[in-house]
Amino acid sequence: MPWFVWRIRQGGVEMTFDLKNRWSLVTGASAGIGRELAGALARAGSNLILVARREPLLSELATELKSAHGIDVDVHALDLSRIEAAQELVEKVVTRPVSVLVNNAGYAVLGSFDGAASEGLVNMIDLNVRFLTEVSRRILPRLLAHPDGGRILNVGSVAGYQGVPNMAAYAASKAYVNAFSEGLGWELRNTSVRVSCLQPGQTQSEFFNYSDKGHVLMARFGLLSATKVAQCGVALIRSGRSARIVGLLNKVNVFMLRLFPRWVVGRAVGLLFKDMA
């Protein structure tokens, strides 16, 4: 159905996307933002497919959400950085009428680029970029065919707006997520599928724990709660808006990027993240 016809049929304004009784697939659901996104979707009445590496944490969350909200929850423990992961996942969920895809899985390799292990960098890019792209491509036909429309929510980052010293590859991977979401959203503008990009900054999660950089200034400054970020994510799914930067400070920072030359911004960002080297 053409996008403008769909809007006319809804009285000229896109109706709020009803999550009740839908099936939402959430990657990276075992902790942090992903866990909170799963909880927020469950409270909205959505059935869930939870995906991450750590099966015990997924099973614990599934039991909790089923008991609290009376929904159905499937659990799939997978290492999503593997080349075969996207195909395996889509095959595992083929019996479920998925209409919401939440691409949250991702992690960062922090520190100097020349000191990073090549395997870690490649695995990060495989997860943050390649898997997100492939699973979106494989799930998209099902979203387009769903009679009530579909949603893709990609978790990007404000780090994707600027090259960041000592997390150069991570920031670049999030720049891809931000741009990919915007471009795909424009491609699908005449369909009933909407693509949104949630863009938080520093969030209370395992992000810095895994990188052993929890002591640095930027790991403690302006932290957002994962619960707030997840609430913003579900609101974004419902509205179908293209993107949302979470947190007033992050919005101000991204706006300020437009006012100064790139070299000035680069120097300032370098000072903030120098302890990660």
DSSP calls for 69-119: H---EEEEE--TTSTTHHHHHHHHTTTS-EEEEEE-------S-GGGS-HH
Q: Which of 57, 1, 64 is nearest to 34 (CA)?
A: 57
Please pick, among 107, 170, 176, 210, the residue that the annotation labels catalytic.
170
Measured in degrees and rounded to the nearest 5, phi and psi for residue 11 equal 80, 20
Instruction: Please tell me whether residue 5 adopts helix, strand or coil conformation.
Output: helix
Measured CA to CA, the distance from residue 79 to residue 86 in angstroms comes to 10
Question: Which segments of the chain are extended strands (E)?
Answer: 23-27, 47-52, 73-77, 98-103, 150-155, 193-199, 243-245
Annotated active-site residue 176? The verdict is no
The catalytic residues are 170
